[in-house]
Amino acid sequence: MFLISQFAWGEGFRNSAPGAYGLGQSGGRYAYIDDTSAALHNPANLMDLDGESSLLFSPTIVHIESEFQVDGGNLARSEEPIKLLPSFFAVSPIVSERFVFGLSVTVPYGLATEWENAGAFGPGGELRYLTPYKSEMLTMQLNPVMAFRITDNLTMAVGLSAMYSKLRFEQFYPDNVFVTQETVAEAEVDGWGIGANFALSWDVTEKDRLALSIRSETTIDHQGHGKIGSLSGDGYTAGATDKSDASTRITYPWILGIGYGRQLTEALTLELQYERVGFSDFEELNIDLANNTPLLGGANVTPQDWDDSETFGVALRYDHGEGLRSHASCQLFKSPVPDSTLSTTIPDADQMAYTIGLTKQWDRAYWGFAYSYVEYDRREANVGGFSGEMQVKLHLLSLNMGWRF
In a domain, 128, yes or no: yes
In a domain, 117, yes or no: yes
In a domain, 136, yes or no: yes
How far is 361 from 36, CA to CA, in rounded Å?
A: 12
Write down the pLDDT at residue 8. 43
Write down the pLDDT at residue 80. 87
In a domain, 6, yes or no: no
Write down the pLDDT at residue 328. 98
In a domain, 4, yes or no: no
**Helix or strand run (H / E) with residue 24:** helix 20-24
pLDDT in tens, 113-171: 889 999 999 999 999 998 889 988 899 999 999 999 999 999 999 999 999 999 999 99
**Helix or strand run (H / E) with residue 250:** strand 243-252
How far is 99 from 264, CA to CA, in rounded Å?
A: 30
Write down the pLDDT at residue 383. 84
Strand partners, 137: 167
How far is 266 from 259, CA to CA, in rounded Å?
A: 20
Write down the pLDDT at residue 203. 98
In a domain, 272, yes or no: yes
Three-class secondary structure of residue 196 per DSSP: strand
How far is 405 from 403, CA to CA, in rounded Å?
A: 7
In a domain, 258, yes or no: yes
Three-class secondary structure of residue 252 per DSSP: strand
Containing structural domain, residue 366: 20-404
Three-class secondary structure of residue 22 per DSSP: helix
Low-confidence ranges of the chain (pLDDT < 50): 1-10
Strand partners, 154: 151, 202
Q: Which residues of 310-328 are buried (b: 16+ CB within 10 A; e: fewer)?
A: ebebbbbbeeeeeeebebb
Q: How many CA atoms lie within 13 A of 366 on its CB side?
A: 21
Strand partners, 227: 186, 243
Strand partners, 135: 113, 169
- Whichever domain contains 357, its CATH number is 2.40.160.60
- In single-letter form, the type of residue at position 41 comes to H
Structural domain tally of the chain?
1
pLDDT in tens, 190-203: 999 999 999 999 99
Three-class secondary structure of residue 356 per DSSP: strand
Three-class secondary structure of residue 257 per DSSP: strand
Per DSSP, the residues of 278-323 read -GGG--EEE-B-GGGGGGGTTTTEEE-----EEEEEEEEEEEEETT
How far is 115 from 119, CA to CA, in rounded Å?
A: 10
Write down the pLDDT at residue 96. 65
CB atoms within 10 A of CB 111: 22
In a domain, 10, yes or no: no
Reference 246, options 292, 284, 283, 282; nearest CA is 292
Write down the pLDDT at residue 209. 98
How far is 70 from 388, CA to CA, in rounded Å?
A: 4
